[in-house]
Amino acid sequence: MNGQFNVTPTVEEYEFQTKRTPGKTGLMMISIGGNNGTTLCATIIANHHNIIWHTKAGVQQPNYIGSLFRASTVRIGTEPGSGKEVHVPVSDVLPMVHPNDLVLGGWDISGVPMDKAMERAQVLDYDLQRQVAPYIALLGKPLPSIYYPDFIAANQEARADNMIRGTDKAAHLEHIHADIRKFKKDNELDQVVVFWTANTECYSDIVPGVNDTADNLLASIKMSHSEVSPSTLFAVAAILEGEPFINGAPQNTFVPGAIELAEHHHSFIGGDDLKSGQTKLKSVLAEFLVNAGIKPLSIASYNHLGNNDGHNLSAERQFRSKEISKSSVVDDMVDVNCLLYKAPEVRPKGVPIGKGEHPDHIVVIKYVPAVGDSKRAIDKYYSEIFCGGRSTINIFNECEDSLLATPLILDLTILTELLTRVQYHKVTRNAAKQKDFAPLYSVLSLLSYMLKAPLVKPGTEVINSLNRQCNALEGFLKACIGLEGSSDLLLETRIW
């Protein structure tokens, strides 16, 4: 009232229980023959067999640098004597599946065998490729995949030579479902994570009666409705099989009917769009600026790349999916600061008029074959500071696209596997009323840290702040072993 708030602290107590050891885990990728897919397979092979290779700079060891769960540490407390902080590898906090132990498989609309596909990707050093080739060749040719030309760029047609036959979407669904079951059985897996790392599709229209509920979606598949995308079919197959499905691309695979279906089956889903480079940095920079009381007036983001992802995105409709996923990142940063950005005016009944003040924000992606997999991103922040001053921050960012993306696929797989083992219940004093432990909610919003446009529980707010995503994840992992989240209050250093 009157802009005043009464704040009431509330406390609820929960107990967590985590199954100790990860089971034997598979990872099935859609587009296993693409840049991400081949890079992931090749680098797991390199790590597994400890293949070292030569570059002009000398001998290079395989590693998992860039993976949160293999290369980061977490602060777990203070050494009693010295007061020194203690950090341990994240992977030591809880038992997690090791990437070297993942069983790999998947589909691709291109039937090029895996060793040739790795070569086509042009991502890894030649001397590494040379040594990995005989191993990766053992993965053979990807499973036939689903290709509906309407959903991806026309320029992808030249690659499409390995498709499941026919146009019956229900048959396609059943085919994929069978592929997953067979893969599990053949490899004696406890679990398999199904991962979309294929082309960005254009958005599906959300049409009442078509994809708005679980039942409608299943019915639409039966009648091969045109609005059902390949990625949604893969997601439905995984959901029906009870296996987690992660969407690493920006399109709205998870139409409302798909989310509802996951809830019904208590299956896990997560998405959307790997947060690998420019967007991740932007979320950090934008938050930094606004937190520092500096007001971005415009953010101009330009990208170009020359891999097949760039090729597909050079089509207008596919780019549009990407643009949406990349644009939302600054929205919540603006919303939280009504001192810098004027909130929209509000009509009598609390309905806002328009969007309120907002920085200009443009996103451009271009296809430039010459640069290959090496993505070049430029961000220009133009901001207002104190009393009419201006701040200009221009960022050039250059990195192999697939080497940023691949560790994220690993992290999402590792974290997803872990979350399937966590159970919780609310603690009540009345033992009679104490409920059994239950698995987490279907939409794994704790994956947000690695995702550009995080899918969250319907009705809850999306949090784009990387710091907050990180805090949440750290807090959750610690909660699983009974520790409190990090407080940086460190009161003992402030008092006598």
Residues 127-146 that bind its own copies (CB under 8 A): 127-130
Query: 10 Å Cβ neighbour count for 244?
Result: 26
State the binding string over 11-40 for its own copies (x if CB under 8 A, else -).
-x-x--------------------------
349 annotated active-site: no
User: Is the link from the previous residue into 115 a cis peptide, with omega within 30 of 0?
Assistant: no
Q: Does 355 sit near its own copies (CB under 8 A)?
A: no
Separation CA 438–CA 425 (nearest Å): 6
Query: 10 Å Cβ neighbour count for 278?
Result: 25
Q: Residues 169, 295, 452, 478: which is the catalytic one?
A: 452
**264-to-87, 242, 258, 340, 457 alpha-carbon distances in Å:** 40, 10, 10, 43, 14
Instruction: Please tell me whether residue 484 adopts helix, strand or coil conformation.
Output: coil
- Phi, psi (5° rounding) for residue 76? -110, 0
CA dihedral (7, 8, 9, 13) positive or negative: negative
**41-to-140, 418, 458 alpha-carbon distances in Å:** 12, 21, 34
Separation CA 136–CA 296 (nearest Å): 47
Q: Which stretch binds its own copies (CB under 8 A): 201-209, 246-254, 320-328, 374-382?
A: 374-382
Minimum gap (Å) between residue 141 Cβ and its own copies: 22
Q: Does 479 sit near its own copies (CB under 8 A)?
A: yes
By the 10 Å C-beta count (0-12 exposed, 13-18 middle, 19+ buried), 39 is classed as buried
Q: Pick the closer one to its own copies by CB: 8 or 21.
A: 8
Minimum gap (Å) between residue 30 Cβ and its own copies: 21
Q: Residues 282, 326, 375, 478: which is the catalytic one?
A: 375
Minimum gap (Å) between residue 450 Cβ and its own copies: 10
Name the nearest CA neighbour of 230 among 318, 165, 159, 152.
152
Q: Which of residues 261-300 bind its own copies (CB under 8 A)?
A: 280-281, 284-285, 288, 290-295, 297-298, 300
Q: Pick the closer one to its own copies by CB: 12 or 345.
A: 12
Q: Residues 322, 326, 379, 478: which is the catalytic one?
A: 322
CA dihedral (123, 126, 130, 131) positive or negative: negative
> Which ranges constitute the DSSP H helices of 223-299?
230-241, 256-265, 278-291
Q: Does 322 sit near its own copies (CB under 8 A)?
A: no
- Binding-site size, its own copies (CB under 8 A): 139
Q: Does 1 sit near its own copies (CB under 8 A)?
A: no
Q: Which of residues 41-80 bind its own copies (CB under 8 A)?
A: 43, 46, 53-58, 60, 62-68, 70-73, 75-77
Q: Of the candidates 32, 404, 418, 480, which one interacts with its own copies according to CB under 8 A?
A: 404
Question: Residue 196 contacts by C-beta under 8 Å, 6 or more apart in sequence?
Answer: 29, 30, 31, 231, 234, 235, 245, 246, 247, 248, 249, 253, 271
322 annotated active-site: yes
State the binding string over 153-192 for its own copies (x if CB under 8 A, else -).
----------------------------------------
436 annotated active-site: no
Minimum gap (Å) between residue 245 Cβ and its own copies: 18
Q: Of the candidates 28, 152, 193, 340, which one interacts with its own copies according to CB under 8 A?
A: 340
Give the DSSP letter string of 164-180: -SSS-HHHHHHHHHHHH
452 annotated active-site: yes
By the 10 Å C-beta count (0-12 exposed, 13-18 middle, 19+ buried), 456 is classed as middle
State the binding string over 418-437 for its own copies (x if CB under 8 A, else -).
------x-------------
How many secondary structure helices (H) and strands (E) does the chain include?
A: 14, 18
Q: Of the candidates 185, 349, 390, 429, which one interacts with its own copies according to CB under 8 A?
A: 390
Q: Does 388 sit near its own copies (CB under 8 A)?
A: yes
Minimum gap (Å) between residue 315 Cβ and its own copies: 15
Whose tokens are 């039966």? That residue is 222
Question: Residue 68 contacts by C-beta under 8 Å, 6 or more apart in sequence?
Answer: 90, 407, 411, 449, 450
Q: Pick the closer one to its own copies by CB: 188 or 492.
A: 492
Q: Does 344 sit near its own copies (CB under 8 A)?
A: no
370 DSSP assignment: G
Minimum gap (Å) between residue 207 Cβ and its own copies: 28
Minimum gap (Å) between residue 309 Cβ and its own copies: 16
Separation CA 104–CA 102 (nearest Å): 6
Minimum gap (Å) between residue 239 Cβ and its own copies: 16
Minimum gap (Å) between residue 235 Cβ and its own copies: 20
Q: Pick the closer one to its own copies by CB: 102 or 164.
A: 102
Separation CA 154–CA 169 (nearest Å): 20
Q: Of the candidates 310, 359, 417, 451, which one interacts with its own copies according to CB under 8 A?
A: 359
Q: Which of residues 203-262 bind its own copies (CB under 8 A)?
A: none
Separation CA 480–CA 149 (nearest Å): 45
Q: Which of residues 79-108 bind its own copies (CB under 8 A)?
A: 83-89
- Catalytic amino acids? 273, 322, 375, 452
